[in-house]
Amino acid sequence: MKHVVFGAVSALALGLGAAQAQDYPTKEIQGIIQWGAGGSTDTVMRAVTPHAEEVLGGTVVMQNMTGAVGAIALNYVADAEADGYTVLMGAENPMLYKIMGLGDKDYSEFTPINILARGTPLLVANSDAPFNDYAEMVEYVKAHPGEVRFGATGPGGLPSVITAMINTIEGKLDYISVPYDGDGPALTALQGGAIDVMPAVLGAAIEGVRAGNMKPLAVFDVAPNSKLPDVPAVTSFNDGYNTYLPWGPFFGVFVPNGTPDDVVAKLSAAYSEGAKNPDFVELMDNRGFTLMGISGDEANQFLTKWQQGTAWLLQDAGETKASPEEFGIARPAN
Amino acid sequence: METLLAFLTVFTHPELLLLVGVGTFAGVYVGAIPGLSVTMAVSILISFTFSWDVHPAIALMIGIYMGGVYGGSRTAILLNIPGAPSAIATALDGYPMAQRGEAGTAIGVTTVMSFFGGFIGIAVLAVAAPFVSDFALKFQPRDYMLLAVLGILLVGSLSTGSLLKGIFAGALGIAIGAVGRDPLTFTERFTFDLKLMEGGISFIAVMIGMFGVSEALMQLHHVNKAAVRQKISRIVPSFSTIRKYLPLSLQTSSIGVIIGALPGTGGDIAALMAYDHAKRVTKSPEVPFGKGAMEGLVAPETANNAAVGGAFIPMMTLGIPGDAVTAIMIGALFIHGLNPGPMLMIDQPDMFWFIVGALVMANFFMLLFGLTGIKLFTRIVEMPRAVLIPLIMLLSIVGAYAVNNSISDVYWMLGFGVFGYFMRHYGYPLGPVILGVILSRLLDDNWRRAIISEREDLGRFFAGLFSSPLSTILFLSVVLIFVSQTPLWTRAKARLARKAA
C-alpha cells in the first residue's frame, strides 16, 4: 500500500514536472534590459517583446537594470535560477568584459534565445568639418596631428572598435579622443561642435544626416547601406577593411546556461516569430538595423566569431587590459 | 489652419482629454511618493500602451510627466521629504510653512506658480523652440563644467548656519556621486573592490534616506507634541500675491526653460538654481529664507515646471532628449513608427502641435487636481506622530526599493538615513549633500572632457574660456558670485556705501 502511494505521488510529481515545462510560462517572465530607458537596446526590446508575448501566451515584465557598462544586469541574470523566468536583454558589450577588465562573465555563460539584429557603423562629422569623405578625413588628420576630436564611448564601445580598425589599417593616427557616456550625448556634442568626428551606429545618426545637421564620411560595411545609398562604403576607400567587415553591434535575448531545453525552444520560437512581425521589421528597417533572427548553434557560432575578431583587433591595437589568450579566445583563422 | 487643428486635437477628442486628465492625476500621486518616479512610470507605460495609437499613448505620458513634476512638491511641503529630486528646494521653505500651520497656503501658491511656470515653458516651446535648441547646442563641455561650478556655489544658499559645515556636506555629496564605475573610462572609483559599490550608490536612495528616514528619526524626539492644526481657509492665493511674485517667477521660469532645454541638465538643477537666484535678488523677504519664505517656494516650483516645456525643445527639434523622461518618449515615438529627429518637425509638424496642445491641457489639469483635495492632504500632517512616523518609514522603504527593485538600495537608504540624522544633530545641512550628488557627474565628466579636448593643456583651456562669449559670461558669473561671497567684498561694499553717504 505504502509503495502504491509512494508510486502514485512520485508519478504525480513527475507528471507535474513534465507539465510545468510544457505549460511554460506559468507565471510572469522577468526581462532584464541591460541599458537605460530610451536607449537603442531598450527600444528594440520593448518593440519586439509584445509580439513575442503573443506567440508565447505569457507576460514578459521588462525592467531596466543599468550600471557598470551592463555588468550589473548580466550578473543578475547569470545568478538567477535557470528556469526561463529571468531573461537577459542585452547588447554586444559583455563579449569584451573579460579582455577589458570589466568582469569575469560573458555570453558563454548564457544560451542565446535570439540574436535579433545587427547595427551598421557610420562615420559622421560636424557639418562644418574641413573634410567631406573618409579619405579626406584621414589625410586631414595626418596633416594636422593632435587637432581633430573624435567622440568615444569608453573602452570596448563601438567607437573604440572602429578607431582601432582605422589605426590598424591606416597606421596610427594622432587625434584627440573625447569620452561621452553613450552615442546619443556624443552626437549632440558633434552637432554643437565640441567634437569633429564620431563613429556611431547608423540608426542613431541617420535622422541627423537626413536633416543635414551632420555629414556622413563613410559606412563601415562592405557595401553602401540602402538607407543612405549615396554614402560610400569604407571598403571603397581602402581594401584593407574587408578583413574586419562586416562588423557591428548586436542585440540579443539570453537565458542562463542550464535552462531546460524545451523552455529554450519555446522562448526561441516566440522571439523568432515575434521578430517577423511586419511592424517590428519596418521599425528596424527605418533605423537601418539588419535583422538577423538567429538562434541555437548558428547564434553561438556568430557570437564566437564576433568575439574572436573584435577581441584580437583591440588586442593588436593595444587597447585591451588582458590578452584574449588568457580567456581562451582564439585568434581568428584569417 | 492645420496647425490650429493639430493643436486642438486634444481638446476636440474626449478620449484624449480623459487620458491627459487621468495621466496628470496619476502623475501627481506618483510624483508625490518618493522613489516612484515619472521616469519609471513613463517607461512602464511604453509597454502598456504598445498596441495603442500614438496620440493616446503620448497624451497619457505627457499627463504623467506634467503631474509628476508638480507632485514632488506635495510631500516636500507636508513631510519634508521631496517626492522627486526637483522638489528638494521646495522643502527648504515649504516645510517650515507647514510647521506653522500654513500648509494650505504653501500648496496653493506652489500649485498656481507651477501652473505659471509650466505655461511659460510651453509658450517658449511653441514659439521659440528652434532658437532655444540652437542655443542649447552651443554649450561645450567647458560650459557644462562652469554651469556645475555655478551650481556648487549654491552651497552657500542651501546652508543654514555654518558655511564650513555646508562645504563639507557638499564635498561629501560630490564624493558619493563619484562612487562606482566611472562612466568614461569604466575604472572603479571608491568601490573598495566590493561588488555592491560597483554600480554606484543610487542617488534616489541617498535622497530618501537623508530626507525621509532622518526626518522620521528627528520626529521621534517629540513624539508627544501635538500636531500643528492646519489653516485651510484660503488656498488659492489672491491676485495681488500673484502679481507681487510675477517678476521673480518670470526670471525663475526663464532659468527653468534654459536649464531644462540643455541636454544633460534637468528640473532638479533648474529648481536649485532658481532658489539661489531668488535668494540673491530678494532683498527683504517678509519671512527669511529657510524659515518659510514665499519666494523660496515660488522660485523652484516655477523653474521645475518650466523645465518640462524646456526638455521638449531639443526633443522635438533635434531628436535629442532634454532629460530622462523625454529620452523615453523618443523611444515611444520610435516604437509607434515615427522617426524622432530633426526631420520630425518638418515631416510631421502635426505631432509637434499635438504635443504642445497636450502639454497645455495637462497644465490645466495640474492646476485643477492641485487645488482640489488639499484638505485631505493636509490631514496627513495633522495625524498623530505614532501613525505618521511609521508611514514615513514605510514610504521610504517602498520608494528606495522601487528605484531598481534592489534590496541593497534599501540598506543604503537606511544607512544614509541614520547618517543624515546625526548630520542634522550636529548642525550639518543636508541640502548641500544632495546638491553635491546631483552635480558630481556633471562637474567631473565635463571637466575631464573639456581638458581632454585641449590635450590636457591648462593654458589652452583658459584661452578657450575667452574664445566664446557664452563661456566668458559663465566664467565671469562664477568669479563674481564667488567674490561676492567673500568677506573682502562685503568690506569693500561697506566702504563704498560709506563714501557715498
- In the sheet that holds A290-294, the strands lie side by side as A60-64, A29-33, A86-91, A250-256, A110-118, A290-294
Q: Given this model, what pLDDT does residue B237 score?
A: 84
> Vertex B273, ends B271 and B279: CA angle to 5°?
105
Q: How confident is the model at residue B101 (pLDDT cuts 50, 70, 90)?
A: confident
Using the Cα atoms of residue B482, residue B487, residue B488 and residue B490 in order, give the sign of their dihedral: positive
Is the distance from CB of B110 to CB of B301 less than 8 angstroms? Answer: yes
Of B263, B339, B343, the CB nearest to A185: B263
Instruction: Examine the domain organization and report whether A139 and A110 are in the same domain.
Output: no
Contacts of A73 in chain B (CB under 8 A): none
Strands A60-64 and A29-33: parallel
Report d(CA B416, CA B422) in Å as an integer. 10
Written in H, E and C, the secondary structure of B178-190 is HCEECCCCCCEEC
Q: How confident is the model at residue B30 (pLDDT cuts 50, 70, 90)?
A: confident
Cell numbers at residue B302, please? 516655477
Residue A332 falls within a domain, yes or no? Answer: no
Return the half-sphere exposure (C-beta side, CA atoms, 13 A cut-off) of residue A65.
23
- Segment B309-334 mean pLDDT: 88
Of B47, B50, B455, the CB nearest to A176: B455
Substitution target in B195, B197, B334 with the highest count of A β-carbons within 10 Å is B334
Count A/B contacts: CB-CB distance under 8 Å: 141
Question: Chain A: nearest CA to B301, how far in angstroms?
Answer: 26
Which residue shows C-alpha cell 542562463? A256
- Segment B76-81 mean pLDDT: 88
Of B199, B340, B452, the CB nearest to A178: B452
**Contact assignment for B343 to A176 by CB distance below 8 Å:** no
Q: Given this model, what pLDDT does residue A1 score?
A: 43
Q: Could you say which of A243, A263, A285 is where a domain stops?
A: A243
- Segment B364-374 mean pLDDT: 90
**Contact assignment for B181 to A69 by CB distance below 8 Å:** yes
Instruction: Report the greatest alpha carbon distance in chain B.
Output: 74
Question: Chain A: nearest CA to B158, how far in angstroms?
Answer: 30
Cross-strand bridge partners of residue A31: A62, A87
* Domain range annotation of chain B: 2-224+235-453
Residue A334 falls within a domain, yes or no? Answer: no
Contacts of B264 in chain A (CB under 8 A): 185
Q: Given this model, what pLDDT does residue A14 score?
A: 44
Structural domain of residue A185, as residue ranges?
Answer: 121-243
Please determine, for residue B220, whether its predicted confidence score (pLDDT) is greater than 90: no
Contacts of A67 in chain B (CB under 8 A): 180-181, 198-200
**Contact assignment for B263 to A176 by CB distance below 8 Å:** no
Nearest residue of chain A to residue B197 (CA atoms): A68
Residue A229 falls within a domain, yes or no? Answer: yes
Substitution target in B187, B335, B345 with the highest count of A β-carbons within 10 Å is B335
Q: Given this model, what pLDDT does residue A11 score?
A: 46
What are the CA-CA distances from residue B164 to residues A63, A224, A331, B290, B467 (Å)? 42, 61, 58, 18, 35
Instruction: Examine the domain organization and report whether A254 and A141 are in the same domain.
Output: no
> Which of B198, B218, B98 minimizes the C-alpha distance to B408?
B198
Percent of chain A scored above 90 by pLDDT?
53
State the DSSP H helix or E strand holding residue A176, giving kind and residue range, or none if neither. Answer: strand A176-179
Of B141, B330, B339, the CB nearest to A194: B141
Q: Residue B238, class by beta-carbon neighbours within 10 Å (0-12 exposed, 13-18 middle, 19+ buried)?
A: exposed
Residue A154 falls within a domain, yes or no? Answer: yes
Alpha carbon B15 to its chain's center: 31
Q: Residue A238, class by beta-carbon neighbours within 10 Å (0-12 exposed, 13-18 middle, 19+ buried)?
A: middle
Alpha helices by DSSP H, listed for B372-468, are 374-382, 385-404, 407-425, 431-453, 458-465
Of A46, A63, A68, the CB nearest to B331: A46
Substitution target in B449, B454, B456, B457 with the highest count of A β-carbons within 10 Å is B449
Of B43, B199, B264, the CB nearest to A72: B199
**Identity of the residue numbered A145:** P
**Contact assignment for A192 to B324 by CB distance below 8 Å:** no
Please determine, for residue B302, whether its predicted confidence score (pLDDT) is greater than 50: yes
DSSP state of A122: E
Instruction: Examine the domain organization and report whether A170 and A63 are in the same domain.
Output: no
Q: How confident is the model at residue B349 (pLDDT cuts 50, 70, 90)?
A: confident
Residue A205 falls within a domain, yes or no? Answer: yes
**Contact assignment for B331 to A286 by CB distance below 8 Å:** no
> Which of B140, B193, B65 minimizes the C-alpha distance to B445?
B140
**Contact assignment for B453 to A191 by CB distance below 8 Å:** no
Alpha carbon A282 to its chain's center: 19
Report d(CA B213, CA A263) in Å as an integer. 44
Question: Chain B: nearest CA to A194, how far in angstroms?
Answer: 6
Residue ranges in chain A modelled with pLDDT below 50:
1-2, 4, 6-19
CATH number at residue A224: 3.40.190.10
**Contact assignment for B453 to A149 by CB distance below 8 Å:** yes
What are the CA-CA distances from residue B212 to residues B96, B251, B431, B499 (Å)? 16, 31, 13, 50
Q: Could you say which of A223, A243, A263 is where a domain stops?
A: A243
Please determine, for residue B367, whether its predicted confidence score (pLDDT) is greater than 90: yes
Strands A214-219 and A121-126: antiparallel
**Contact assignment for B184 to A181 by CB distance below 8 Å:** yes
Strands A149-152 and A176-179: parallel
> What is the torsion angle, in degrees rounded to the nearest 10, for the CA atoms of residue B22, residue B27, residue B33 and residue B37?
130
Q: How confident is the model at residue B418 (pLDDT cuts 50, 70, 90)?
A: very high
Cross-strand bridge partners of residue A169: none
Instruction: Report the greatest alpha carbon distance in chain A.
Output: 92
Q: What is the pLDDT of residues A169-211, one digit of tens each?
A: 998 899 999 998 788 889 989 999 999 999 999 988 888 898 8
**Contact assignment for A178 to B185 by CB distance below 8 Å:** no
**Contact assignment for B337 to A283 by CB distance below 8 Å:** yes
Alpha helices by DSSP H, listed for B262-373, are 267-281, 295-318, 324-335, 344-347, 349-371
Substitution target in B46, B135, B351 with the highest count of A β-carbons within 10 Å is B46
> Vertex B92, ends B90 and B95: CA angle to 5°?
85
Nearest residue of chain B to residue A281 (CA atoms): B337
Q: Given this model, what pLDDT does residue B278 score?
A: 92
Contacts of B133 in chain A (CB under 8 A): none
Using the Cα atoms of residue B146, residue B202, residue B403 and residue B392 in order, give the sign of their dihedral: negative
Report d(CA A159, CA A155) in Å as an integer. 9
Q: Given this model, what pLDDT does residue A21 score?
A: 56
Instruction: Examine the domain organization and report whether A99 and A134 are in the same domain.
Output: no
Cross-strand bridge partners of residue A32: A63, A88
Arithmetic mean of pLDDT over chain B: 88
User: How many domains are contained in chain A?
Assistant: 2
Instruction: Examine the domain organization and report whether A27 and A105 are in the same domain.
Output: yes
What DSSP line would sit under B142-171, residue for residue? HHHHHHHHHHHTTHHHH--S-HHHHHHHHH
- Radius of gyration of chain B from Cα atoms? 22
Count of other CB atoms within 10 angstroms of residue A10: 10
**Contact assignment for A49 to B341 by CB distance below 8 Å:** no
Q: How confident is the model at residue B204 (pLDDT cuts 50, 70, 90)?
A: confident
Contacts of B183 in chain A (CB under 8 A): 154, 181
Instruction: Examine the domain organization and report whether A201 and A255 are in the same domain.
Output: no
Report d(CA A210, CA A230) in Å as an integer. 11
Q: Could you say which of A243, A270, A289 is where a domain stops?
A: A243
Contacts of A50 in chain B (CB under 8 A): 47, 50-51
- Segment B333-345 mean pLDDT: 83
Residue A254 falls within a domain, yes or no? Answer: yes
Count of other CB atoms within 10 angstroms of residue B317: 24
Alpha carbon A129 to its chain's center: 29
Q: Given this model, what pLDDT does residue B286 score?
A: 87
What are the CA-CA distances from residue B401 to residues A34, A85, A172, B287 (Å)? 19, 21, 48, 38
Report d(CA B150, CA B33) in Å as an integer. 30
**Contact assignment for A46 to B453 by CB distance below 8 Å:** no
Question: Chain A: nearest CA to B492, how far in angstroms?
Answer: 40
**Contact assignment for B318 to A154 by CB distance below 8 Å:** no
Contacts of B331 in chain A (CB under 8 A): 37-39, 42-43, 46
Q: Residue A9, class by beta-carbon neighbours within 10 Å (0-12 exposed, 13-18 middle, 19+ buried)?
A: exposed
**Contact assignment for A154 to B324 by CB distance below 8 Å:** no
Residue A333 falls within a domain, yes or no? Answer: no
Nearest residue of chain A to residue B326 (CA atoms): A38
**Contact assignment for A46 to B404 by CB distance below 8 Å:** no
